């Protein structure tokens, strides 16, 4: 199938497009673009309540479209929202107008696809209004994280319900992420786990240890990812205090997004401040994507210290495996089947025991076994699956025509 007869994909997700690629959606869309699927990627309009963020500060006045290389001569159109006509929280009529104007901007930015139609590919229910504005032939809903919908507004829940009812294809990174969502339930979503670029992770072995990490003594217990409310701060504090000679190192942004903010949560903020005052807990901040493999390779044990309330499947898990390093994890439903490759722990004492076993070489699994498991989850193989589902979807009438 050539690009001329593939439908145009309008992809909507909350995270900005980065180079080099690092998010699951970027891996999928760049590979689909190489296979001839035309893709335009958008995070929606700017929001007035984001005016203190780097996204707002670095934006121009008007929307623009970047043509980003996807490799092998392919391209992805990436929408860079401007400050003109931002969303305004609590103003439904204004926000509807802004979304309509933004949808028009996206429509005029793509090349007309002769008789090939449109696919709206949504990674979050908040983009549901675009389905009405763009009138796509098919709708894909991709659930990439665990959501606590009890904290959502009524309008956001309605978006979720409407999207689930309209979607021609529902995909979930793990079954338990979609199991309890309204209108979806067990078995309705197709399961497509995150992938990994094993060679990119392995390349980190050849680079010298980064300067900020080199000054931290070993052993180093590493974590790659956002430092937010998903983490079990009390457990980390207790474990760090039990073994002050072991150093916990966190690479990633902190408190990202309003739903992950420490502000307004006194107990969490207090734990966060305690963590920052422990001499063997280190926060190194955000790193470029191509630097992450170097950090992975210079940790002694990798960690997934999530709280018991987190039910997701971390993207970073396969990257951990691709490094070959021993891993200790929280007791999450999605990691229990992998207990032959990682050590699973509850509470600070179990974490200390599991880390000790990993450091002594007595942890579960070997480096070779972890790397082999990661290779089976290659992004290209997962894109094969996704493309098959999309082509299968196109063989049937869309729900728009059936409703």
Q: What is the pLDDT of residues 118-166, one digit of tens each?
A: 999 999 999 999 999 999 999 999 998 888 888 888 888 999 999 999 9
Judge if 49 and 116 occupy the same domain.
yes
pLDDT tops 50 at residue 335: yes
Judge if 295 and 206 occupy the same domain.
yes
* Cβ atoms 119, 127 nearer than 8 A: no
pLDDT tops 70 at residue 19: no
CA distances in angstroms from 135 to 36, 100, 109, listed in the order given:
22, 12, 16
The larger pLDDT score, comparing residue 48 to residue 303, is at: 303
pLDDT tops 90 at residue 290: no
The boundaries of the domain holding residue 343 are 198-375
Average pLDDT over residues 390-401: 87
E strand or H helix at 64: strand 64-71
CA distances in angstroms from 43 to 20, 172, 279, listed in the order given:
18, 20, 39
pLDDT tens digits for range 172-220: 998 988 988 999 988 899 999 989 989 989 999 989 999 999 999 999 9
How is residue 116 annotated by DSSP? T
pLDDT class for 370, splitting at 50, 70, 90? very high
Q: For the whole model, what pTM was predicted?
A: 0.82
Q: Which two tokens stand for residue 90?
A: 């609590």
pLDDT class for 88, splitting at 50, 70, 90? confident
Mean pLDDT of the chain: 90
* Cβ atoms 195, 27 nearer than 8 A: yes
Question: Which contacts of 318-321 are long-range, i.e. CB under 8 A and separated by 24 or more positions?
Answer: 318/193, 318/194, 318/195, 318/196, 318/373, 318/374, 318/377, 319/196, 319/201, 319/224, 319/292, 319/293, 319/374, 320/224, 320/296, 320/370, 321/196, 321/370, 321/371, 321/373, 321/374
Q: Which two tokens stand for residue 12?
A: 């909507």
Judge if 248 and 343 occupy the same domain.
yes
pLDDT class for 22, splitting at 50, 70, 90? low
The larger pLDDT score, comparing residue 306 to residue 187, is at: 306
Q: Which of 311, 270, 236, 9 is nearest to 134 (CA)?
A: 9
Average pLDDT over residues 27-34: 95
Residue 285 — φ and ψ, nearest 5°?
Answer: 80, -170
Judge if 355 and 238 occupy the same domain.
yes
pLDDT tens digits for range 58-68: 888 998 999 99
Judge if 203 and 191 occupy the same domain.
no
Judge if 282 and 170 occupy the same domain.
no
* Cβ atoms 249, 243 nearer than 8 A: no
Judge if 176 and 248 occupy the same domain.
no
pLDDT tens digits for range 241-262: 999 999 999 999 886 544 456 6
pLDDT tops 70 at residue 7: yes
Question: Domain with 93 in it: what CATH number?
Answer: 3.40.50.11010
Judge if 186 and 212 occupy the same domain.
no
Give the pLDDT confidence score for residue 262 in this predicted structure: 67
Give the pLDDT confidence score for residue 113 in this predicted structure: 66
* Cβ atoms 375, 323 nearer than 8 A: no
Give the pLDDT confidence score for residue 402 in this predicted structure: 53
pLDDT tops 50 at residue 1: no
Judge if 139 and 210 occupy the same domain.
no
Residue 153 — φ and ψ, nearest 5°?
Answer: -70, 165
E strand or H helix at 370: helix 367-375
Judge if 186 and 241 occupy the same domain.
no
* Cβ atoms 66, 107 nearer than 8 A: no
* Cβ atoms 172, 200 nearer than 8 A: no
Across 113-117, 125-129, 366-370, least confident range: 113-117
DSSP string for 23-59: SHHHHHHHHHHHTT--EEEE--S-BGGGTTSHHHHT-
Average pLDDT over residues 362-379: 94
Give the pLDDT confidence score for residue 403 in this predicted structure: 55
Judge if 267 and 341 occupy the same domain.
yes
Give the pLDDT confidence score for residue 288 in this predicted structure: 85
Question: Domain with 284 in it: what CATH number?
Answer: 3.40.50.2000
Cα distance between residue 311 and residue 307, in whole Å: 9
Give the pLDDT confidence score for residue 185 in this predicted structure: 81
Task: Work out how many domains the chain is built from and give that number.
Answer: 2
Judge if 333 and 395 occupy the same domain.
no
Average pLDDT over residues 284-311: 92
- 49-77 core/surface letters (b: 16 or more CB in 10 A; e: else): ebeeeeebeebeeebebeebebeeebbbb
Cα distance between residue 32 and residue 361, in whole Å: 41
Residue 356, class by beta-carbon neighbours within 10 Å (0-12 exposed, 13-18 middle, 19+ buried)? middle
Q: Which two tokens stand for residue 14?
A: 């909350």
């Amino acid at each position: 199938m050539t690009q001329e007869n593939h439908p145009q994909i309008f992809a909507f997700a909350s995270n900005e497009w980065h180079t080099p690629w690092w998010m699951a959606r970027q891996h999928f869309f760049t590979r689909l673009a190489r296979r001839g699927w035309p893709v335009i990627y958008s995070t929606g309009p700017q929001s007035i309540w984001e005016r203190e963020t780097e996204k707002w500060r670095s934006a121009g006045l008007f929307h623009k479209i970047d043509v980003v290389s996807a490799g092998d001569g392919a391209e992805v159109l990436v929408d860079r929202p401007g400050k003109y006509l931002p969303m305004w929280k609590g103003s439904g009529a204004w926000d509807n107008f802004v979304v309509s104007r933004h949808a028009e901007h996206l429509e005029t930015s793509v090349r007309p696809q002769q008789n090939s139609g449109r696919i709206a590919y949504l990674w979050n229910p908040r983009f549901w209004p675009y389905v009405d504005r763009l009138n796509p032939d098919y709708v894909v809903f991709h659930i990439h994280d665990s959501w606590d919908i009890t904290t959502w507004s009524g309008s956001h829940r309605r978006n979720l319900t409407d999207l689930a009812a309209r979607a021609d294809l529902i995909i979930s990174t793990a079954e338990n992420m979609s199991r309890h969502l309204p209108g979806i339930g067990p078995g309705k979503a197709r399961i497509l786990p995150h992938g990994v670029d094993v060679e990119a992770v392995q390349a980190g072995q050849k680079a010298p240890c980064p300067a900020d990490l080199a000054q931290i003594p070993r052993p180093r217990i590493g974590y790659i990812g956002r430092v937010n409310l998903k983490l079990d701060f009390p457990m980390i504090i207790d474990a760090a205090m039990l073994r002050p000679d072991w150093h916990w190192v966190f690479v990633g942004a902190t408190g990202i997004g309003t739903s992950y903010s420490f502000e307004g949560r006194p107990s969490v903020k207090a734990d966060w401040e305690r963590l920052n005052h422990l001499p063997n807990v280190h926060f190194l901040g955000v790193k470029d994507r191509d630097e992450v493999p170097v950090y992975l390779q210079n940790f002694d044990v990798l960690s997934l210290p999530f709280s018991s309330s987190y039910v997701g499947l971390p993207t970073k898990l396969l990257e951990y495996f691709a490094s070959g390093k021993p891993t200790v994890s929280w007791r999450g439903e999605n990691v229990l089947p992998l207990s032959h490759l990682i050590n699973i722990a509850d509470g600070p004492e179990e974490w200390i025991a599991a880390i000790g076993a990993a450091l002594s070489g007595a942890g579960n699994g070997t480096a070779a076994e972890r790397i082999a498991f990661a290779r089976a989850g290659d992004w290209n193989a997962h894109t094969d699956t996704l493309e098959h589902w999309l082509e299968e979807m196109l063989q049937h009438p869309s729900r728009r025509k059936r409703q």
